[in-house]
């Protein structure tokens, strides 16, 4: 078969909801798109550990500390499943990590903002994990087999993360005046960056239409953002705090909320390396990578020894 016939056959498989597996033929652009998206996702999980781990030693009690520790460890696990899924696309982990460390690969905008108070841990679980779930539930049905299977467990764990965050927010909002103010301040700071997590609006999204044709993405950025807003507004009402958007208004005709303009300049700045914490995050990752060198070397030496023994 020539390239055109192979592509046609590939698209028929995708349209018939047959998963694409690592050894199947696939267009090179499909492979590259997956490597870009899965590795960006993996890097986000790993960098996402940093703002939260900042609060492990300062969690207000043992129960909160245990839950936060478990959550941060889950993120490490998600990173590992995702790097493994990316590796099935003929790229090795070392290359992926180098792309993160030299700045050629992106990671989610959201992790370039600081965690200033304990309420930020609540807001991250509630909003950031909430937005992540919204995006990731559809990825369980993504066309590439290893990615879709990795997403099943990730989604289950993200659900627990969202609940632990919302529960922190409930506690703070039912606490003292100062605690409620802290919760409000966290919502005010995390709201807009959380909406940006879904990516540029559909008209500006460069990859969406091809990714949706290949069923890598199953819903558009704007659709998911809108769904997230609808659900989150209801949760905010229960907390008794206010979303920082004067234009947020129920639209009876559309049966959804209208909302204000997202600051896309801020988004572009943050994803191109100029957000409030980009330099700090990358410094921490580079140091962790350097400090972990002896572990990688020891693991490789052990693997080599076992291989020799087997021969």
For binding to ligand BYC (CB under 6 A), which residues are involved?
A: 36-37, 40-41, 44-45, 48, 75, 106, 108-109, 128-129, 132, 135, 196-200, 205-208, 211, 217, 221, 271
Task: Report residue 138 CA to chain centroid gap.
Answer: 13
User: Measured from the CB of residue 203, what is the shortest distance to ligand BYC in angstroms?
Assistant: 11
Q: Which is nearer to ligand BYC, 31 or 181 (CB)?
A: 31
Which of 113, 81, 128 lies closest to 274 in space, CA to CA? Answer: 113
Nearer to ligand BYC, 122 or 199 (CB): 199
- Measured from the CB atom, the residue of 13 and 207 that comes closer to ligand BYC is 207
Smallest separation (angstroms) from ligand BYC to the CB of 170:
19
Which residue of this chain has its Cβ atom nearest to ligand BYC in the complex?
48
Least distance to ligand BYC, CB of residue 106, Å: 4
* CA–CA separation, 112 and 128 (whole Å): 12
Of 182 and 224, which has the nearer Cβ to ligand BYC?
224
Query: At its nearest, how many Å lie between ligand BYC and the CB of residue 249?
Result: 25
Cβ(105)–Cβ(130) below 8 Å: no
Torsion of CA 41, 46, 52, 57, to 10 degrees: 160
Q: Which residue, chain included where needed, has tokens 């490789």? A: 300
For residues 180 and 168, give the distance between their C-alpha atoms in angstroms, rounded to a whole number: 11
Least Cβ distance, residue 224 to ligand BYC (angstroms): 8
Measured distance CA(111)–CA(49) in Å, rounded: 9
Say how far apart CA 311 and CA 309 lie, in whole Å.
5
- Cβ proximity to ligand BYC: between 164 and 221 the closer is 221
3, 26 Cβ separation under 8 angstroms:
no
Q: Residue 270 CB, nearest distance to ligand BYC (Å)?
A: 8
For the bound state, the minimum distance from the C-beta of residue 310 to ligand BYC, rounded and expressed in Å, comes to 38
Query: What CA–CA distance (Å, rounded) separates 163 from 173?
Result: 15
**Pick 41 or 64: Cβ nearer ligand BYC:** 41
The answer to whether the beta carbons of residues 198 and 219 sit under 8 Å apart is: no
Q: Which is nearer to ligand BYC, 179 or 212 (CB)?
A: 212
Dihedral (CA of 102, 104, 107, 108) sign: positive
Calculate helix-pair angle for 62-87, 28-47, nearest 10 degrees: 160
């Amino acid at each position: 078969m020539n390239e055109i016939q192979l592509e046609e056959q590939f698209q028929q498989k995708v349209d018939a909801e047959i998963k694409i597996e690592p050894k199947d033929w696939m267009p090179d652009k499909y492979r590259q798109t997956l490597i870009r998206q899965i590795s960006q996702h993996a890097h986000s999980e790993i960098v996402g550990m940093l703002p939260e781990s900042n609060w492990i030693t300062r969690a207000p009690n043992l129960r909160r500390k245990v839950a936060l520790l478990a959550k941060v460890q889950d993120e490490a696990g998600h990173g590992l499943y995702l790097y493994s899924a990316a590796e099935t696309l003929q790229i090795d982990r070392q290359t992926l990590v180098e792309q993160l460390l030299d700045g050629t690969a992106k990671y989610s905008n959201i992790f370039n903002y600081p965690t200033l108070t304990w309420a930020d841990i609540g807001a991250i679980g509630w909003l950031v994990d909430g937005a992540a779930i919204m995006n990731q539930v559809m990825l369980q049905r993504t066309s590439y087999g290893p990615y879709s299977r990795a997403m099943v467990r990730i989604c289950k764990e993200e659900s627990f993360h969202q609940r632990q965050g919302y529960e922190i927010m409930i506690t703070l909002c039912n606490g003292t005046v100062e605690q409620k103010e802290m919760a409000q301040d966290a919502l005010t700071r995390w709201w807009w960056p959380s909406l940006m997590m879904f990516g540029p609006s559909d008209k500006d999204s460069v990859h969406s239409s091809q990714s949706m044709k290949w069923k890598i993405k199953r819903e558009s950025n704007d659709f998911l953002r809108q769904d997230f807003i609808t659900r989150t507004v209801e949760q905010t009402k229960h907390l008794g705090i206010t979303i920082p958007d004067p234009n947020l208004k129920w639209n009876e005709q559309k049966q959804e909320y209208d909302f204000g303009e997202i600051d896309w300049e801020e988004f572009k700045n943050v994803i191109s390396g100029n957000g409030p914490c980009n330099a700090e995050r990358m410094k921490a990752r580079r140091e962790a990578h350097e400090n972990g060198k002896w572990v990688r070397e020891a693991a490789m030496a052990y693997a080599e020894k076992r291989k020799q023994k087997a021969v």
